[in-house]
Amino acid sequence: MSAKDYPTTPDGRYFVAKGRMWRKTNPALDDTARRAAVKALMQARRGVGQADSEDATRAARDKVDAAKRALGERGPVWWDDGAPDEGGKHPKNTSYADWWAGLDAGTQQVGLS
């Protein structure tokens, strides 16, 4: 299941999967930069799976982190209205609690799976 299938907050900052808020890619990234970061992320994830030592695993995970930061999914938030990063939290424990409560049970279930 891709992120587009999960419930997405009205402001487009997060999607909900496995009961947690996950930051979405910065929509202001130009297509070239986004594609390059996604390619780097996929290569880094393959590198994690192919690593044959702790050092290689650490290096690959660092590359995953760098790619996610380039996409805006980690690190400083990409919005500029002063709202905090609420990633990693259950939506009922965030400023999105009312939005979450207003979703139908089926949509919530998708976000919990």
40 and 68 fall within a common domain: yes
Report whether pLDDT(3) > 80.
no
Domain coverage including residue 5: 1-24+86-113
Report whether pLDDT(93) > 50.
yes
Averaged pLDDT of the chain: 96
| Region 83-91 average pLDDT | 97
Report whether pLDDT(21) > 90.
yes
What pTM did the predictor assign?
0.88
Which of 64, 61, 68, 62 has the alpha carbon at shortest distance from 26? 68
Cα separation of 110 and 113, whole Å? 5
Report whether pLDDT(59) > 80.
yes
- Res 9: pLDDT: 98
- Phi-psi category of residue 66: left, alpha or beta, with phi > 0 → left and psi -120 to 50 → alpha: alpha
In a domain, 37, yes or no: yes
Residues 6+ apart with CB under 8 A from 16: 6, 7, 8, 9, 22, 91, 100, 111, 112
In a domain, 93, yes or no: yes
Report whether pLDDT(8) > 70.
yes
| Region 56-63 average pLDDT | 97
37 and 65 fall within a common domain: yes
pLDDT tens per residue across span 25-53: 999 999 999 999 999 999 999 999 999 99
| Region 95-100 average pLDDT | 98
In a domain, 77, yes or no: no
Report whether pLDDT(1) > 60.
no
Q: How many angstroms separate the Cα of 108 from the Cα of each of 12, 22, 28, 90?
A: 17, 15, 28, 11
The count of structural domains within the chain is 2
Structure tokens at 23: 């930051």
9 and 38 fall within a common domain: no
| Residue written as token pair 């709202």 | 83
In a domain, 78, yes or no: no
